[in-house]
């Protein structure tokens, strides 16, 4: 696709270095050449190709921030964001697999695991083990700390019982950062994070959800029936799970923002190209001002969302407080993705409403951006609290 179809480059504040440009371009080429040919089939079957995940590991995409001493790339959070954006431009399911691995699971281990846990698990996460982040339950979505999964210490093990719902990557994952309460009477102060391996006794993966979008990405129920987890696998400290969950999700929301701008970009590129090819009344529809204005508006919103995502990621890498920016980023980028993908379908007209063309998938994939890792209403609540308390 011609470079002239790309939205404008970022402003200098969030401009990419030469190394970041090379990194981004390599992933873009990989996504176009290796992932794009499989997108339609994976979406229809609801299965992500294992060989592609193996290639993610070989390219270092599953351990971007993991230090080199553990076999990772030793990179920055910003690089993980670039990877998620470029993969999502081709397939949001690919983007979310890499997103959950890096911004949630690896980040939680890097920040909260002790030296022994890092030595044991980080090399696996960089080499061949997918991770999943298990917080949600049927009765605890936005009210995340109403979870009912219980953990009781019995000898040298915690015994976990309960069910988790909507867990991304769960079919492919070999390791789970999983949250349970060790003391229901303590409320959120009883929440504890555990590192759970898939082969632990009493742990199983349940039904895979049949979803509207990101269909190739597995979303399953987790079942814990007297699941034995060594007490050495507590992540952080007992009772500190709420802090781990909140702080990790703040980072994850920037990842969702990156996923959404990737989705929006992918749809925009197809729509802009189609508008230059589709003729009505004797000329390409891109020559009609009404279509031009739509394409321009879409490009502007994508650029605004990208700058928010990049800025939040840079703030995270700089070690400054980014909670408000992460919430704003996820809120706005998901809104943009929904608007852009919907307009893209309209530019295609009746063809956009059929599965013969790729555009409808982008619209289906965009919807989840307003829901997972904190709904839009939860982002608004966070933003309101922070801006109203600012002095």
Q: Thinking of the domain 132-239, which architecture would CATH place it in? A: Beta Barrel (2.40)
Would you place residue 14 in the very low, low, confident or very high pLDDT band (cuts 50, 70, 90)?
Answer: low
DSSP state letter for 27:
H
Query: Whole-prediction pTM value?
Result: 0.94
> Measuring CA to CA, how many Å separate 117 from each of 19, 75, 122, 223, 294?
31, 20, 8, 24, 51
pLDDT one-digit tens code per residue, 132-145: 999 999 988 788 77
- 318-376 pLDDT, tens digit per residue, is 999 999 999 999 999 999 999 999 999 999 999 999 999 999 999 999 999 999 999 99
> Could you give the residue numbers annotated as active site?
373
Whole-number pLDDT of residue 142: 80
The strand ranges marked E within the chain are 130-134, 150-154, 157-168, 173-181, 191-197, 203-208, 219-230, 234-235, 279-280, 283-284
Q: CB neighbours of 47 closer than 8 A, spacing ≥ 6?
A: 216
CA 339, distance to chain mean position in Å, is 19
Phi and psi at 193, nearest 5°, equal -100, 140
Each domain of the chain, given as residue ranges in start order, spans 3-130, 132-239, 243-389
Find where tokens 């790309």 sit: 6
Q: How confident is the model at residue 108 (pLDDT cuts 50, 70, 90)?
A: very high
The correct CATH number of 243-389 out of 3.10.180.10, 3.40.228.10, 1.20.140.10, 3.20.20.80 is: 1.20.140.10
* pLDDT, tens digit, 9 for 90 and up, residues 161-185: 999 999 999 999 999 999 999 999 9
Contact predicate 352/360, CB 8 Å:
yes
pLDDT per residue over 246-270, tens digit each?
999 999 999 999 999 999 999 999 9
CATH 1.10.540.10 fits 3-130, yes or no: yes
Examine the pLDDT at 198 and tell me if it is beyond 60.
yes
Query: Which helix (H) or strand (E) is 44 found in, with range?
Result: helix 39-45
pLDDT band at residue 11 under the 50/70/90 scheme: very low
């Amino acid at each position: 696709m011609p470079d002239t179809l790309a939205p404008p480059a970022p402003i200098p504040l969030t401009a990419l270095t030469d190394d970041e440009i090379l990194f981004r371009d390599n992933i873009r080429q990989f996504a176009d050449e290796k992932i794009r040919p499989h997108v339609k089939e994976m979406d229809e079957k609801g299965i992500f190709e294992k060989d592609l995940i193996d290639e993610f590991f070989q390219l270092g995409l599953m351990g971007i921030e993991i230090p080199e001493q553990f076999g990772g790339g030793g990179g920055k959070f910003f690089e993980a964001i670039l990877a998620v954006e470029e993969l999502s431009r081709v397939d949001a399911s690919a983007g979310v697999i890499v997103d959950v691995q890096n911004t949630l699971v690896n980040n939680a281990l890097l920040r909260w695991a002790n030296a022994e846990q890092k030595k044991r698990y980080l090399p696996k996460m960089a080499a061949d083990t997918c991770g999943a982040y298990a917080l949600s339950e049927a009765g605890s979505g936005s009210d995340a700390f109403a979870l009912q999964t219980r953990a009781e210490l019995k000898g040298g093990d915690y015994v976990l019982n309960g069910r988790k719902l909507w867990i991304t990557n769960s079919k492919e994952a070999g390791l789970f950062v999983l949250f349970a309460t060790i003391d229901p009477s303590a409320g959120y102060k009883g929440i504890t994070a555990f590192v759970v391996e898939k082969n632990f006794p009493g742990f199983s993966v349940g039904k895979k959800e049949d979803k509207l979008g990101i269909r190739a990405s597995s979303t399953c129920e987790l079942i814990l029936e007297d699941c034995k987890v060594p007490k050495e696998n507590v992540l952080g400290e007992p009772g500190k799970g709420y802090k781990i969950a909140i702080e990790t999700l703040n980072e994850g929301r920037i990842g969702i923002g990156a996923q959404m701008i990737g989705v929006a970009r992918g749809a925009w590129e197809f729509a802009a190209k189609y508008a230059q090819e589709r003729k009505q009344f004797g000329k390409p529809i891109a020559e009609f001002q009404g279509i031009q204005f739509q394409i321009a508006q879409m490009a502007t919103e994508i650029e605004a969302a990208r700058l928010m995502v990049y800025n939040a990621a840079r703030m995270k890498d700089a070690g400054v407080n980014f909670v408000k920016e992460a919430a704003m980023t996820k809120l706005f980028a998901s809104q943009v993705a929904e608007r852009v993908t919907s307009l893209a379908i309209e530019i295609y007209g009746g063809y956009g409403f059929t599965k013969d063309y790729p555009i409808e998938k982008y619209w289906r994939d965009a919807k989840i951006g307003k829901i997972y890792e904190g709904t839009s209403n939860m982002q608004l609540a966070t933003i309101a609290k922070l801006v109203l308390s600012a002095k």
